[in-house]
Chains A and B, each alone.
Chain A
Amino acid sequence: MYPDIDRQQQQRIADQLRRLSGDFQQPYGWEEFQRRSREQSDALRQGRRWGFAAAAASLLIIVSGIAALSRASRVPALVDARPSPVVDNKASAAIASADPAVASAAPAVASAAPDSRATGSQVRAAGEPKAGGADSHVKSAEHWLASLPPEPIIVKFGTRAAVTGLEDRIAQLDDLMTAANARHVQPARLSALQQERGRLVDSLVQVRYAEALAAE
């Protein structure tokens, strides 16, 4: 190597480069720069406006979709509020088989409907007169619910929403009943809450039974 010669050569090249450094003029003046800046800013603003419009449209579609889905999922939850929900007697039979103590009550429900189906009012009519029977029916229903396998990984949204809604309402009623017991409210009020809870448990049984059948 020849470090001195190399350094001299390098220095000469660097000097030549430095002499080149100022030989360009700017491509346009201040007025043209301002015009181009305005154009770019307008284009940017336009792009942002379209972006906001697209985002707003997407948000609207998402909100509409959620609203439609929540309405669809609310329908099954309202079934028990309607005057005559349909009860599959197989569900009652399943409950009855889970607890022999209420075996007499469940066939009564099933036999109440000539076309092998019974309305919710008939179910209530069968269960309401005997408070003790209704209580054991609810217990057996809960026992049957507890014996069900854990929910599958993939579930139908509507069914799951109905189940969740019913479970929430049952939990809410449990809270109310606990509070009512603590405050020593009238027995009639407590009984009404228990009946309502039983009705909700029945509805939950129906939905879970249907879900179990669909899963098979």
Chain B
Amino acid sequence: MSRLVETAVPDDVLNAARQGDQRAQALLYEAVAPGVFALIRRLTGGRAQAEDLFQDTMMTVYQRLADFRGEAPVGAWVRQIAVTKCLMYLRSPWHRARMSLDLTGPDEPVSDRLMPSIQGPVAETLDVERAMATLAPTARAIVWLFEVEGYSHEEIAKAFGRSVSFSKSQLARAHARLREWFEPNVDRQTCTLI
């Protein structure tokens, strides 16, 4: 497991890339690209959209590389750009229209269509993938940012332009749904009859 924020790039490579050195830029690409694509893929779901957003994100990274001051790890800086691009995409009317069209398709279950391709066909992995695919895009993004990327509720609220309680309630609902997926037959009685 390697998170994007933990991606390490040597300072000399970063400085050379900032000054336009092609070899250093290629090294930077090799270092951050897998994490960027994985994050975008998890946040957006579809491969085609993820590739477009990946290209867009990486272009922005190189365009703004000169502005990177090095106050935070380069992985965190790149992650911020990728998350911003993904959230802009999720909020776009185009994406919402596409989702409404997708959800009305009669051919296969929603979870199957939204589920990304699986590279490690382990049963547990399959279950998690399917469970995540049942979530709405916003809820999925919040779960991923909170549980995997380590965002706080405040950071999520700021990124989405919403309140902290929005982030908390979305996460709680998403977890409830995931629990239902994993243990559908558990009776969750909230009070005991005397």
> A and B: real partners?
yes
Report how far A30 CA is from B25 CA in the complex, Å.
Answer: 9
Q: Which of A17, A20, A24 contacts B34 (CB 8 A)?
A: A24
A interface secondary structure, majority: helix
Residues of A within 8 A of B82 (CB): none
Q: List 7 A-B contacts (CB under 8 A).
A: A13-B178, A19-B125, A20-B148, A21-B1, A21-B148, A30-B29, A33-B29
B interface secondary structure, majority: helix
A64 at the interface (CB under 8 A from B): no
Q: Are A17 and B148 in contact (CB under 8 A)?
A: yes
Report how far A24 CA is from B46 CA in the complex, Å.
Answer: 13
Q: Are B55 and A37 in contact (CB under 8 A)?
A: yes
Q: Are A27 and B1 in contact (CB under 8 A)?
A: no
Q: Are B55 and A40 in contact (CB under 8 A)?
A: yes
A: interface residue count bin: 20 to 34
- The chain A residue with its CB closest to the CB of B174 is A13
Report how far A3 CA is from B190 CA in the complex, Å.
Answer: 11
Q: Once A and B bind, how many residue pairs between them come within 8 Å at the CB atom?
A: 89
Contact with B along A148-183 (1 / 0, CB 8 A): 000000000000000000000000000000000000
B: interface residue count bin: 35 or more
| CB within 8 Å for A25 and B37 given contacts A6-B179, A9-B179 | yes
| CB within 8 Å for A14 and B119 given contacts A20-B125, A26-B36 | no
A36 at the interface (CB under 8 A from B): yes
Report how far A27 CA is from B120 CA in the complex, Å.
Answer: 17
Q: Which of B54, B62, B119, B183 contacts A23 (CB 8 A)?
A: B119
| CB within 8 Å for A1 and B190 given contacts A13-B178, A16-B128, A33-B55 | yes
Residues of B within 8 A of A22 (CB): 1-3, 34-35, 38
